[in-house]
């Protein structure tokens, strides 16, 4: 397998699966890149390849086109932005497996970059079709997967295609490498104590990661909507807070397993409760197990903030997935902000901190903490599945 840090791919045509599934905005009938985080995160790989004298064929999906080409999902819209970021012209092929595309990739010279049209304009991409993957493989001498965000999908360009390259002709890009190495710093041999912070709306979405973390973490901190399923399972009154009635047993089982395994499970002692799901609603701080009828917990309270900050500041390794409250509304963001502050402080004092999963990443960005944690994962679903212990097809196929 190719390790980009050790192998110089000069004079090679390198086919790179990237995740340029970026949000676009429309202005006067023209589409523009609204957030280029995903493009930016693959720049180290692309710059390294160009510096080494390779040529690059880029392939990605964009959005969810239903059947065939649709202008609003065309990758042509990102060409100007990508060219500017790379500081060189990027050529575009209007069908990823069209004759023009093959002619353009065959004619590439060292230092040139070609972007292929949206892979998902062909249904075969998501079907993991072998013949389609084989066609795509003709674009490169070497295949690199740098799309961690889609590594949990067994699609033609993310997994099946790897089989058409010999082990020494395929590998990961620098982003994928970093994602795997950083996740393994938490999972494989963490410095202790390892504190995992889990928040967000529902227990159901996080149960597998909680179960896995019960085997590796010293402390698990629970916040957000899912803490009310735990509070109710423990016999508490939670008013009209978000509760998954069909997960009460699961919550009880998690609490029991934590006791058995000696894992400290921290639930919020108190909550900021509101009488409506609204920034202008009336609020009161109450015990998380004594939320009055008609009120709902929308954030962790001041006592929980303090207790969580203490646990986080003592950690040597931190994993954070999911906000502590409805951080999108100003009046319910104090809990998430307090946790972000504690994670940043702990990192300053030498802890390794990894933030992953869509909403916690949005939260650290919103509060300006992205530069103050050790690593922000780019893969929401993929990161969750990696932490759940699942084999990600995009990683397994390249490793072979």
Residue 198 CA to residue 388 CA, distance in Å, equals 13
Among residue numbers 30 through 89, which ones bind ligand AMP (CB under 6 A)? none
Position 359 contacts ligand AMP (CB under 6 A): yes
Known active-site residue 350: no
**Piece in contact with ligand AMP (CB under 6 A), picked from 26-34, 167-175, 259-267, 324-332:** 324-332
- Rounded to the nearest 10°, the torsion over CA 170, 376, 185, 7 is 30
Q: Residue 344 CB: number of other CB atoms within 10 A?
A: 19
Which is closer to ligand AMP, CB of 311 or CB of 324?
Answer: 324
Per the listing, tokens 């969750």 go with 384
Position 297 contacts ligand AMP (CB under 6 A): yes
Shortest Å distance, C-beta 233 to ligand AMP: 16
Member of 65, 200, 301, 394 binding ligand AMP (CB under 6 A)? 200
Q: Residue 400 CB: number of other CB atoms within 10 A?
A: 11
Q: Which entry of 202, 212, 253, 372 is annotated as an active-site residue?
A: 202
Known active-site residue 38: yes
Written as six digits, the tokens of 35 are 């957030």
Known active-site residue 357: no
**Piece in contact with ligand AMP (CB under 6 A), picked from 21-29, 174-182, 214-222, 317-325:** 317-325
Shortest Å distance, C-beta 316 to ligand AMP: 25
Which is closer to ligand AMP, CB of 193 or CB of 381?
Answer: 381
**Piece in contact with ligand AMP (CB under 6 A), picked from 26-34, 138-146, 207-215, 323-331:** 323-331
Q: Which entry of 13, 38, 153, 170 is annotated as an active-site residue?
A: 38
Which is closer to ligand AMP, CB of 183 or CB of 222?
Answer: 222
Q: Which entry of 63, 111, 163, 358 is annotated as an active-site residue?
A: 358
**Piece in contact with ligand AMP (CB under 6 A), picked from 24-32, 184-192, 229-237, 322-330:** 322-330
Position 356 contacts ligand AMP (CB under 6 A): no
Member of 63, 193, 205, 381 binding ligand AMP (CB under 6 A)? 205
Give the number of residues in contact with ligand AMP, rule: CB under 6 A: 16
Known active-site residue 64: no
Q: Which residues pair with 5 in a beta bridge?
A: none
Position 325 contacts ligand AMP (CB under 6 A): yes
Among residue numbers 206 through 265, which ones bind ligand AMP (CB under 6 A)? 224-225, 242
Which is closer to ligand AMP, CB of 121 or CB of 332?
Answer: 332
Member of 36, 211, 313, 328 binding ligand AMP (CB under 6 A)? 328
Which is closer to ligand AMP, CB of 322 or CB of 379?
Answer: 322
**Piece in contact with ligand AMP (CB under 6 A), picked from 30-38, 123-131, 142-150, 201-209:** 201-209
Query: Active-site residues: which are they?
Result: 38, 202, 358, 381
Using CB under 6 A, list all residues that contact ligand AMP: 200-202, 205, 224-225, 242, 297-298, 322-323, 325-326, 328, 357, 359
């Amino acid at each position: 397998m190719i390790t980009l840090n050790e192998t110089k791919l000069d004079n090679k045509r390198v086919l790179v699966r990237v995740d340029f599934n970026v949000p676009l905005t429309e202005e006067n009938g023209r589409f523009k890149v609204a957030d280029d985080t995903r493009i930016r995160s693959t720049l180290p790989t692309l710059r390294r390849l160009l510096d080494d004298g390779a040529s690059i064929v880029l392939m990605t999906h964009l959005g969810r086109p239903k059947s065939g080409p649709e202008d609003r999902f065309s990758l042509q819209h990102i060409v100007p932005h990508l060219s500017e970021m790379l500081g060189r012209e990027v050529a575009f092929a209007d069908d990823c497996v069209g004759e023009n595309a093959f002619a353009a990739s065959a004619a590439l010279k060292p230092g040139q970059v070609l972007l292929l049209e949206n892979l998902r304009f062909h249904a075969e991409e998501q079907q993991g079709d072998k013949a389609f993957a084989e066609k795509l493989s003709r674009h490169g001498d070497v295949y690199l997967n740098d799309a961690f965000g889609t590594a949990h999908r067994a699609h033609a360009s993310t997994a099946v295609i790897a089989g058409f390259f010999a082990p020494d002709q395929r590998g990961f890009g620098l982003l994928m490498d970093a994602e795997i190495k950083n996740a393994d710093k938490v999972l494989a041999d963490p410095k202790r104590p390892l504190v995992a912070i889990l928040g967000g709306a529902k227990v159901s979405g996080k149960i597998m990661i909680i179960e896995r973390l019960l085997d590796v973490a010293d402390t698990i901190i629970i916040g957000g909507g899912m803490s009310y399923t735990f509070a109710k399972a423990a016999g508490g009154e939670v008013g009209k807070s978000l509760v998954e009635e069909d997960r009460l047993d699961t919550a009880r089982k998690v609490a029991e397993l934590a006791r058995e395994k000696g894992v400290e499970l921290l639930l919020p002692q108190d909550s900021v409760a509101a009488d409506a799901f609204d920034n202008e609603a009336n609020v009161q701080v109450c015990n998380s197990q004594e939320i009055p009828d008609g009120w709902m917990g929308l954030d962790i309270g001041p006592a929980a903030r303090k207790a969580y900050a203490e646990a986080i500041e003592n950690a040597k390794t931190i994993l954070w997935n999911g906000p502590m409250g409805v951080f999108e509304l100003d009046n319910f963001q104090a809990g998430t902000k307090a946790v972000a502050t504690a994670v940043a402080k702990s990192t300053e004092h030498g802890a390794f901190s990894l933030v992953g999963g869509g909403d916690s990443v949005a939260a650290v960005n919103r509060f300006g903490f992205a530069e103050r944690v050790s690593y922000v994962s780019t893969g929401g679903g993929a990161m969750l599945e990696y932490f759940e212990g699942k084999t990600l097809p995009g990683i397994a196929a390249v490793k072979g």
